[in-house]
Each structure stands twice: as C-alpha cells, then as structure tokens.
Structure 1
Amino acid sequence: MATDLYASFNEQYMNINAKLKKRFMRKPNISEATNEFVGLAIQCEHSEQPAFAGHAYVGAAKCEASAGNSLGEAEQYLAAARQFMKAEHKFVSLKFSSTDRENLEAAIGCFNQALNKYPENSLMRTSILMELASNLVSFNHKLEAISYYEQALENIENKTMKLMCMRTILNLLIECEKWDIALDTANTIVDKILNIPENILAEVQVSRVLLALLVKPMDENKPDSLKNLFTSILNDCDSDAFPVNIDLRLKLQSIIISSTTGDANSLICVCADTKGFLTMQQAFLLDKINTEIRLTQYCDSVRSYLN
C-alpha cells in the first residue's frame, strides 16, 4: 500500500513539474501549477502521508517564488514545515530512530525559507522562531531550541512576551546543565525587566539561589541584587524582591547554610522537605547540589584516609 501511495504521489508530482517545463509554445500557468501542488498536498494530508504533503507544499512554494509572490511562497513553506514536523512526530511515536533526521531537517529548512521572506522585525518572524523552537523542545533538542528562542527574543518588544520567553530559556538552560549561562539569564530577568508578577519573580529568585550555590561565582562577579537576595534570606528579612512564603524562605536558608558548610546530612534532610515547593527544574538543581556536596565529602574522606 505504501509503495502504491509513493508511486501515485511521484507520478502526480512529476506530471505537475512536466507542465511547468513546457515553455516552447506558451508561458507555463504558474497559478494552475500552484493549485495542483496544493491539491496534491491536501490529498496526501487526507491519506495521512505528511512527508509527501510537505514535498507538495514545497513545490507550491517554488511556484509562488517563480511568480514573484514572496508572501505566498512563505505561506507554502510554512505549510510544508508543519507537515514535515508532523511526519517527524509520527516517526518518533512509532519508536523509530533516524540519525539523518530527514523530516526534521526538511522542516527546519522550510521554516528558515519562510523566515527569509519576512522583514527583520516582523511579528511573523518571531512567531515562526517560537514555533520552531517549541517543536525542537518536543523532540528533546533543547540546546538547538534555545538558539531559536534567543533569536525570537531579539525581536520581542512586548514585556510580558519577553519575560515568558526568557523564563523558557532559563528553564531549558537548567535542563541542559548550562549553569553559568542560566545564572546570567536569571540575573538579567531580575535586573532588567520591571514589574515582574510576584509568582514569576519568586520562581526566578529561587532558581537564582540554587544556581548560585552550584556556580559559586566570586563576590566581585555577583550583581548587587544577588548579594542582597542572599543577605535577605540569611537574615530572615521580608523583601518585595523575594515574595515567597516564610516556610520556603526558611528552607532556602537551611539549604544555603548546609551547602556552604558542606553539611551533607543536613542538606539531605532539608531537600526532602523542600521539593514540594519547587518546580521540576529547581528540584533538579537541588539534586545536583546534594550530589556535589556528597561527592566533595567523599573526596575529603578519601584524602583524609590516605594521609
């Protein structure tokens, strides 16, 4: 059945191309060919053959390019990209693995083709970059996704959208264990964005604390806001810059003291009680801090034994 579908698609695709190449007697009808490619793509979609549909939409995009219709070309490339992404999702859901990422690479290429048809500061460019990044995250290509989120961030003017994009980047950097860059990103969110909603500010501040305990930046490299955050927690002070409940503040206080003194046993105890207050990424950071402290303690004990 699959072979029949391929043969049918290939025959129709080649027939449309053949019409375009007949230039001897008259100019080819680009509009007609575009409609035929789109019709073929829709037929493939209905047959649940998204990869074939993607190729047909690429054919339509090339027709639009020949006609000088940049907007139409971009729309067809976007349609193609979405079909190639759908094909990749289908491929992955069937538990197949592919080192060449054929459908995914085709989708990325089509998204980039569409991007090139819009002005630098266009909202459509931002939307396309965000869509591509989101798809890459769904395939667990998180570092790749970050680069597209960062490109989108350059064009975002809306404060709320900018904050949400930076928050997404921060969490992806944590998941990719890029601690230094994640801490810089969290610092930027707090120091550069005004009037952050309390719930998001609290989340970012907690992530900053945990990241700083992992990165251990020198005092001269810490922004004042980060120094003030640690001072506020350790001195048990209420602060608008750290809008968390008293329970979480006290638990973070214990984590900071246990971590800086290298008290692995105390840290294990407080970790168990703290995770219910944390996001998935923050719980991951806490586990890393715990592991690092225990490893340090083990290495110290080995050195003491050898000496």
Structure 2
Amino acid sequence: MAAESDFLLRYRAVSNKLKKRFLRKPNVAEASEQFGQLAKELKQQDCLQYAAFCNLAMARCEQTLFNAPGEALSLTEAARLFMEAEQETYRLRCPGFEEHLQAAINCYSFAIKVYVEVNQPVMAASLCLELGNALKEMNKPAEAIVYYQRAAELQVQVPIECLLSLGYAASCKILTRDYDGALSLFTEMQFIAQDRGLHVSGSSTPVGAFLDIVARCEISRVLLLMLLQPPPQKLLPEHAQTLEKYDWESFDSHSQVTFLAENVFLLLQSVVMACQEKDVDSLKSLQTELWALLTPEQNHLLHLVVLERIQPSGQGV
C-alpha cells in the first residue's frame, strides 16, 4: 500500500504540472520525461500496470508535442507492460476480468494507428504480429486472426511477409475449426505466391521460399477439401481444378504439380482416391506413410480426414 500511495502522489505531482495556469504554459516535455522516469522505477519494482499507466501519460504528452514517433513508442511500451501483466495472471491461472489484456489491445491498436498515419506500415505490421502472437500463446486464436490479417494488409507491398502473416491466420482458422476459412486463406496464399513470387525465367513455378509456401498451400488445400467434402454443385472452380490434378484418370498429373515431390504427390493422389472410395484401411496406411513428409498441422488435418471417414457424422471433427 505504501508503494502504491507513493506512486499516486508522484503521478499526481507530475500531472499537476500539466495544468494550465495564468500566463504560464505547462512544460510538457519535462512532464513526459518525469513520467518516463517513474515508469522505469515502477517496472524495476515489477509494478507493471502502474508503469504502463505512466507510459500512457507519456504518450499523451508526446501527442501534445506533435511527436508521433515518441507517442507510438510510449503506447507500444504501455501495451507490452499491460500484456506482460496479463500473461503473468494467465500463467498463474488467477481469476480475473482480463482488464490488462483489454488495455494492452487498446494500446497496441492506438500505436498501430499512429504508425499508419505517419506512413510506417512496416512498424504497424510488426505490432499486429506481436499482438497476434501474444493472443495465440494465451489460447485465443480467434482473436489473433484479426491482427494477423491486418498485418498481411499492411505488408501487401512485401509478398513474402504478407504470405507468412496469412499463414499464421490460416493456422489459427484450423485451431478454431473454421476449415472453410482456412481453405479460403490457403487458396489466396497460393494465388499470391504463384502470381507475385520469384520465378526462374521462362517458368511459371516460383522458387525459394515461395515454392515452399505453394507446396504447403497445395497439400493443406487437398486435405481440407477431403475433410470438408463439398458437394459438386458447391465446389468452387479453383477447388475443382485442384482436385482434377489428383484424378487417377488425368494424363501425366504430376507435370501440373511440379512443386511437390513425386512421392508426396502420388501419396496425396492415393488419399484422394481412398476418400472417394471411403476406404478407411487404405487411409490409415497412407497416413503412416505420409507422417514424416507432412508438417504437424498437415498431419493433424489428415488425422481429421481419417476420423471423418470412421465417424461420417462429423463427431470426430
């Protein structure tokens, strides 16, 4: 209580300096510096939420001084302190109303807005990703999706970064069981990678990291289509074209999917046929063969596909 009382007295003392007086302008720069010093002391004492409030006061001072970079930095520090306080509560499994989390989200949002206004989309996108990662770590993937997608919008001029952010959002869609949403995002990612990725002269196949992203999207899309089993009349043209490549009757199908290793392509082709034939035993065998060739997320999707065939009602999903 003594520490809290001391904090309040010092906070009020600095705040009083900002009050307008007759024929005297408040020294906003000095107040901002003093709020910053108080914030450092409180942070060292592990009074994170109080330190965050001091950083918020700094941000208001910097806004008054029309110092946008300083305002954004103060808001970011406040956001991180509020988030750290919330994460500590989360780790300790203490009951609460997530007031620190809401404060952190608000501070992040204002900082992002400031960076957008001063035309620094890279900084804004990095804060979106930071907030998205924090929410995902706290088992809030649905909330994280919004910030991953916002990051992708801000990174539209940097395709590889945009694709990575969309990939995070797609993973969160899978965690929230929004498989239609995940399929849409993977489809969008594949189009972006193929359209804006680096290509070897004379080839339509992207190279480097873009090739890895296209391969990831292709495998995930096939597995999601096997999981969702959309009826032919509701199958979108781009999804129908994807499945056509895995038709056993298609001539030299692998020549259309050169970004996948031949053994992976053939095993995926077998998965599609086993799903069409509702051959659960073959699916289980293919699952074993594919396990080492897929990512943990893709293995999870394949596992759901197998469960769906065992329990057609969808209880396994």
Taking structure 2 as the reference length, what is the TM-score of the superposition?
0.84
Aligned match of 1:20: 18
- Correspondent of 1:260 among 258, 271, 276: 276
| Partner Cα separation in structure 1 for residue 40 and residue 57 of structure 2 | 13
| Partner Cα separation in structure 2 for residue 5 and residue 232 of structure 1 | 74
| Partner Cα separation in structure 2 for residue 138 and residue 103 of structure 1 | 16
Letter in 2 for 1:206: I
Are the equivalent residues in 2 in contact too, given 1:207–1:282 (CA < 8 A)?
Answer: yes
1:145-185: CA deviation from partner (whole Å, max 9, x where unpaired):
11112122222111211221222222221222111111111
Q: SS of 1:117's equivalent?
A: helix
Q: SS of 1:281's equivalent?
A: helix
Distance change in 2, residues 1:64/1:277 (3 Å): same
1:11-45: CA deviation from partner (whole Å, max 9, x where unpaired):
22122112223624622211111111000111112
Aligned match of 2:90: 92
Aligned match of 1:304: none
Distance change in 2, residues 1:226/1:158 (3 Å): same
Where structure 1 has 5 or more consecutive residues not aligned to the other structure, the ranges are 300-307
Aligned match of 1:7: 5
| Partner Cα separation in structure 1 for residue 231 and residue 19 of structure 2 | 67
Aligned residues: 296
Give how far 1:228 is off: 4.1
1:175-200: CA deviation from partner (whole Å, max 9, x where unpaired):
22111111111122222333343322
Aligned match of 1:152: 151
Are the equivalent residues in 1 in contact too, given 2:159–2:192 (CA < 8 A)?
Answer: no
Moved more, 100-109 or 252-261: 252-261
Letter in 1 for 2:146: S
| Partner Cα separation in structure 1 for residue 243 and residue 294 of structure 2 | 22
2:42 is aligned with 1:41:
no
| Partner Cα separation in structure 2 for residue 179 and residue 106 of structure 1 | 31
Alignment of 1:122-133 (within 5 A): 122-123=120-121, 124-133=123-132
Aligned match of 2:202: none
Distance change in 2, residues 1:22/1:191 (3 Å): closer
Give how far 1:282 is off: 1.1
> What's the Cα RMSD here?
2.5
Moved more, 49-58 or 5-14: 5-14
Aligned match of 1:221: 236
Give how far 1:130 is off: 2.0
- Correspondent of 1:289 among 287, 302, 305: 305
Give how far 1:126 is off: 1.9
| Partner Cα separation in structure 2 for residue 278 and residue 145 of structure 1 | 25
Are the equivalent residues in 2 in contact too, given 1:233–1:252 (CA < 8 A)?
Answer: no
Aligned match of 1:305: none
Aligned match of 1:57: 55
Are the equivalent residues in 1 in contact too, given 2:141–2:176 (CA < 8 A)?
Answer: yes
Aligned match of 2:110: 113
Aligned match of 2:200: none
| Partner Cα separation in structure 2 for residue 209 and residue 177 of structure 1 | 16
Are the equivalent residues in 1 in contact too, given 2:42–2:50 (CA < 8 A)?
Answer: yes
1:78-137: CA deviation from partner (whole Å, max 9, x where unpaired):
111111112122222223242x21111111111112222233553222222222222211
Give how far 1:10 is off: 2.0
| Partner Cα separation in structure 1 for residue 248 and residue 145 of structure 2 | 32
Taking structure 1 as the reference length, what is the TM-score of the superposition?
0.86
Aligned match of 2:101: 104
Distance change in 2, residues 1:153/1:232 (3 Å): farther
Are the equivalent residues in 2 in contact too, given 1:84–1:103 (CA < 8 A)?
Answer: yes
Distance change in 2, residues 1:6/1:213 (3 Å): same
Give how far 1:298 is off: 11
Distance change in 2, residues 1:240/1:50 (3 Å): farther
Distance change in 2, residues 1:30/1:298 (3 Å): closer
| Partner Cα separation in structure 2 for residue 270 and residue 193 of structure 1 | 28
Moved more, 260-269 or 180-189: 260-269
| Partner Cα separation in structure 2 for residue 154 and residue 38 of structure 1 | 33
| Partner Cα separation in structure 1 for residue 29 and residue 294 of structure 2 | 56
| Partner Cα separation in structure 2 for residue 256 and residue 199 of structure 1 | 22
Where structure 2 has 5 or more consecutive residues not aligned to the other structure, the ranges are 198-205
Aligned match of 2:64: 66
2:203 is aligned with 1:205:
no
| Partner Cα separation in structure 2 for residue 298 and residue 193 of structure 1 | 33
